[in-house]
Amino acid sequence: MRKDIHPKDYRLVVFKDMSNDDTFLSKSTVKTKETIVWEDGNEYPVVKLEISHTSHPYYTGKMKLVDSAGRVDKFKTRYKNRYE
């Protein structure tokens, strides 16, 4: 195995699911400029997610289409002439 390939600067980061406002605290090396005050009163960096384990259909058992950037509509308009 190669040595010294893994990062060493792990820190506590809050991940926020933007579809249902659920948040959880975990260790990560992700870089972010935004911060948030956590339940313990401390301020942590925050990473905003489009989908997480609390909103993903596999984990919730509910089918829900998350299309925050209109990707499905862009795809349909781009390829509509090919399937008519």
The token duo for 61 is 């058992």
- Domain borders along the chain are 11-83
pLDDT for the residue numbered 1: 78
Q: Each residue's pLDDT tens digit in the chain (84 positions)?
A: 788 888 888 999 999 988 888 899 999 999 999 999 999 999 999 999 887 777 766 656 666 555 566 677 777 777 777 665
pLDDT for the residue numbered 44: 96
3-state secondary structure 30-63: CCCCCEEECCCCCEEEEEEECCCCCCCHHHHCCC
Predicted TM-score of the model (pTM)? 0.63
Contacts of 59 (CB under 8 A, 6+ apart): 53
Round to the nearest angstrom and report the end-to-end CA distance of the chain. Answer: 53
